[in-house]
A and B are shown apart, each in its own frame.
Chain A
């Protein structure tokens, strides 16, 4: 940057001509872009082709690779399926309910935790962060296994429940919605806390101090300074947690297994993998990803805005 200022216009033009061939950078990007085209874009195209292609007499999908021949009504059937009255409406409704409840719990627990570590951690900040990061790198399946062990009828949760006045020992694992929601909260809270932490960490302490110096009370300061400044982080954390929750099926599978708590992910799993109907499964994947595209777009847009702000 500095050289550019000191050079005259003529010299600058000459200098620019000696720059590396512009083709070098796209060529470096090529393997990665190519890989993602073949194994990310094409698979997604295959989903549409199968969802819009119909089935043969053995219920096997007949992919339709030509977009002009796509049968739009099959995709519309997929959409109708998840709307009230459709085949998948119960699963979809449950998914939305469970994810909303779990997200609400994430906000309730995650915000104080992220706030404390980011703004009041003090000397212990490094250690606290390490402890917050630890679950991030423990396999999700191991963390579910941990609760599967604890929630057995003869497990430690029931030992505690026997002592407490307001809960009684229960078989937590035979299809209870609250166990599934609990599992979702436990599973995804670390993913919620981290982005929120980095957003709260960026808030300028002087703004909060200025508000207090001007005689604003703690609650009003929180409501009028801290909360508006953390809005971006709250929304981004919510989006990045909601996305995998909507695509979750294993939490339900491990902690409940009952069809009465099955989520949309379980339906997709059944249709695609036990060979029930790949065409229906593909249509559901398409519907789910269109539904989630809003969240994905929002998250990408907000992180992109945040990172250009920093630079």
Chain B
């Protein structure tokens, strides 16, 4: 039976895959079949996903350890989260880092989003001299390594703008500088899909340009603006290099800086609790930024693809 199938296969492979699925196929048939299941690729993908996320799950699990080991599981307990002494809730260093991080992220969001939206509107509609250089200026921070940007900002605050100096103001300025471009890139896409028609219609009906922006364009852009605000919040929360280089002392530590400085000195699972808590905050912001605009836009004609796909297609 097998041999007959094999000889058939060598004569005409299309016939085999077309007519008789029961017969066992030779390797060359299996190989030539464009509809075979991509098992190897699926295995690689799932292995990659496991490899990328399993360590994180282990880190979270260790934050609930009963003992102080940071490398193996030791029973369950929430003492590194809420217990007395060294825990997320009661260790002043950890809560200080958490407070600084959230404060910095909220302020960055509040400052960078309006500046970015205005820049995005300006760049999308502005014709003539100055648009291209301004557009370049907006894009370059997206691809500049943080080390280069952090180094440059460090030098400017210590050598030129000494009145500002290093510290939380410098951190805030640094974060706003590298997040403005994110806002522009995210809201710009929405601006292009809206097109100029509605705005022109508003003006034909007697609205001044500013009224047209305020009453027509901005409400239509609101979901994208919200998404970009959430992304700015999350990016600022996760940033390490700029925060670290512009901090003046321990009191300016944010969560990533805390993780960096504590990780090298035999930390307890409370550090894992801190990292986990921050991860939950970031995820919450991103989830909100992805879900809420979908809900708001439900009335419009269905956008193609899922929100996740839309998110992945963003060229940052």
A25-B125, A154-B71 known; A143+B309 contact, CB < 8 A: no
Closest to A246 in B: B145
Question: Is A41 positioned at the interface, with any CB of B under 8 Å from its CB?
Answer: yes
Of A29, A39, A120, A292, which contacts B123 at CB under 8 A? A29
Q: Are B126 and A116 touching (Cβ within 8 A)?
A: no
- The CA of A119 and the CA of B285, in the complex, are separated in Å by 29
Q: Which residues of A contact B1 (CB under 8 A)?
A: none
Within 8 A of B (CB), among A146-189: 146-150, 152, 154-156, 186, 189
Question: Is A276 positioned at the interface, with any CB of B under 8 Å from its CB?
Answer: no
Q: Which residues of A contact B208 (CB under 8 A)?
A: 20
Interface pick from A67-75, A80-88, A195-203, A223-231: A195-203
Closest to A65 in B: B160
Looking at the assembled complex, report how far the CB atom of A120 sits from the nearest CB atom of chain B, in whole angstroms: 5
Q: Are A146 and B58 touching (Cβ within 8 A)?
A: yes
Q: Are A198 and B147 touching (Cβ within 8 A)?
A: no
Q: Which residues of A contact B197 (CB under 8 A)?
A: 1-2
- The CA of A248 and the CA of B260, in the complex, are separated in Å by 14
Of B31, B145, B309, which contacts A218 at CB under 8 A? B31
Q: Which residues of A contact B48 (CB under 8 A)?
A: 109, 113, 189
Give 1 or 0 for each of B182-219: 1 = CB within 8 Å of chain A CB: 00100000001001110010010000111010000000
Q: Are B134 and A33 touching (Cβ within 8 A)?
A: yes
Q: Are A36 and B137 touching (Cβ within 8 A)?
A: yes
Closest to A215 in B: B32
Q: Which residues of B contact A282 (CB under 8 A)?
A: 151, 155
Q: Which residues of A contact B70 (CB under 8 A)?
A: 149, 152
Q: Which residues of B contact A145 (CB under 8 A)?
A: 59, 259, 263, 271-272, 275
Interface pick from B16-24, B87-95, B238-246: B238-246
Q: Which residues of A contact B51 (CB under 8 A)?
A: 186
Closest to B196 in A: A1
Q: Are B264 and A257 touching (Cβ within 8 A)?
A: yes
- The CA of A257 and the CA of B263, in the complex, are separated in Å by 12
Q: Which residues of A contact B224 (CB under 8 A)?
A: none
Q: Are A138 and B279 touching (Cβ within 8 A)?
A: yes
Q: Are A147 and B122 touching (Cβ within 8 A)?
A: no
- The CA of A193 and the CA of B112, in the complex, are separated in Å by 28
Question: Is A30 positioned at the interface, with any CB of B under 8 Å from its CB?
Answer: yes
Residues of A within 8 A of B (CB-CB), count: 109
The total of Cβ contacts below 8 Å across the A-B interface reads 292
Question: Is A21 positioned at the interface, with any CB of B under 8 Å from its CB?
Answer: yes
- The CA of A186 and the CA of B122, in the complex, are separated in Å by 39
Interface pick from B78-86, B113-121, B294-302: B113-121
Give 1 or 0 for each of B135-154: 1 = CB within 8 Å of chain A CB: 01111110111111101111
Within 8 A of A (CB), among B240-294: 240-241, 245, 255-256, 259-260, 263-264, 271-272, 275-276, 278-279, 282-283, 286
- The CA of A244 and the CA of B316, in the complex, are separated in Å by 13
Looking at the assembled complex, report how far the CB atom of A270 sits from the nearest CB atom of chain B, in whole angstroms: 12
Of A117, A126, A268, which contacts B147 at CB under 8 A? A268
Q: Are B159 and A272 touching (Cβ within 8 A)?
A: no
Q: Which residues of B contact A201 (CB under 8 A)?
A: 309, 313
Question: Is B222 positioned at the interface, with any CB of A under 8 Å from its CB?
Answer: no
Closest to A158 in B: B71
- The CA of A113 and the CA of B136, in the complex, are separated in Å by 32
Question: Is B72 positioned at the interface, with any CB of A under 8 Å from its CB?
Answer: yes
Q: Are B312 and A133 touching (Cβ within 8 A)?
A: yes
Interface centre among A40, A120, A154 (most CB of B within 10 A): A40
Q: Which residues of A contact B75 (CB under 8 A)?
A: none
Question: Is B308 positioned at the interface, with any CB of A under 8 Å from its CB?
Answer: yes
Question: Is B42 positioned at the interface, with any CB of A under 8 Å from its CB?
Answer: yes
Selected A-B contacts with CB under 8 Å, 16 pairs: A25-B125, A26-B126, A29-B134, A32-B122, A44-B152, A112-B45, A113-B44, A134-B52, A138-B282, A142-B275, A150-B55, A197-B312, A218-B31, A243-B143, A254-B263, A272-B155
Task: Please name the 10 residue pairs, one residue from A and one from B, whose CB atoms are nearest each other, closest first.
Answer: A29-B122, A247-B145, A32-B119, A20-B209, A247-B147, A43-B152, A25-B126, A146-B55, A28-B122, A155-B71
Given contacts A149-B62, A154-B72, A243-B145, 15 further A-B contacts (CB under 8 A): A1-B197, A2-B197, A22-B127, A25-B126, A31-B119, A32-B184, A33-B134, A50-B155, A134-B52, A139-B237, A142-B56, A152-B70, A154-B69, A156-B72, A250-B241
